[in-house]
Amino acid sequence: MAVVVAGAGGIGSECVAGYVEAGARVLVTDRDQDRLDQIADQHPGVEVLAADLTRPGSGEAVVSTAVSRLGGLDVLLHCVGVNDRRPVLEFSEDEWDRVMEINLGSAFRVAQAAGRHMVERGRGRIVMLSSVSGLLAHAHHAPYAASKGGMNQMMRVMAREWAASGVTVNAVAPGYVETNLTAAHLAKPGVRDGLTALVPAGRLGRPDEVVGPILFLSSPHAAFVTGHVLYIDGGRTLV
């Protein structure tokens, strides 16, 4: 199995370890070379590629490189994302566009390129890292929530268009997970306790708890699962 993991952050790096343990050949792409170097040190044999997926043509370049280095592409996992927690009225247009471009624009570019390759081959799995924010109306999450809600619908349309070609497209939507993206926010007084109180499971998630569902959606076991958003949230979306 040849896998591209786009995004080498907390959940992305955990998924790399999961794919490697499952015996996959993996290429990881990120614009942070330090993150890529850490992954290469931790997992000898994993291919790394520095790329900025907000740039036009970057998705095609990453997929082409992956096909060349890995001998094909069976799975794409998109784990790129940033958040900017402020009230709606405080955002400039450029600040809004930045979050949308990083979170949603990058997903479109690399998923479209991967989908083109997979549709031609007649098989493939695409998984996108969404969020419960794509469903829930969290305050101070407007561009992030919009990007994840847009991702969910984009994913569904891709799933609809490519299903007959043997390509599945799904998303996983974690609740609050302790990652680099959430660390500073969780460190603020009262934030951790307040968020934990919203989760029926009584705790926040860990990056490794997202890996199993992603591996399932990447596998032959999920051949008839497409266009689905799988919530990994300890029951957060139930209340």
Active-site positions read 144
Q: How far is CA 225 from CA 17, 102, 150, 163, 218, in A?
A: 24, 27, 20, 10, 10
Q: Give the Cα separation of 125 and 217 in Å (integer).
A: 7
Per-position DSSP letters for 179-232, written without gaps between them: SHHHHHHHTSTTHHHHHHTT-TTSS-B-THHHHHHHHHHTSGGGTT--S-EEEE
Tally of CB atoms within 10 A around 32: 12
Q: How far is CA 22 from CA 1, 18, 58, 212, in A?
A: 9, 6, 28, 11
Q: Give the Cα separation of 134 and 118 in Å (integer).
A: 26
Three-state DSSP state, 26: strand
Per-position DSSP letters for 34-54, written without gaps between them: HHHHHHHHHSTT-EEEE--TT
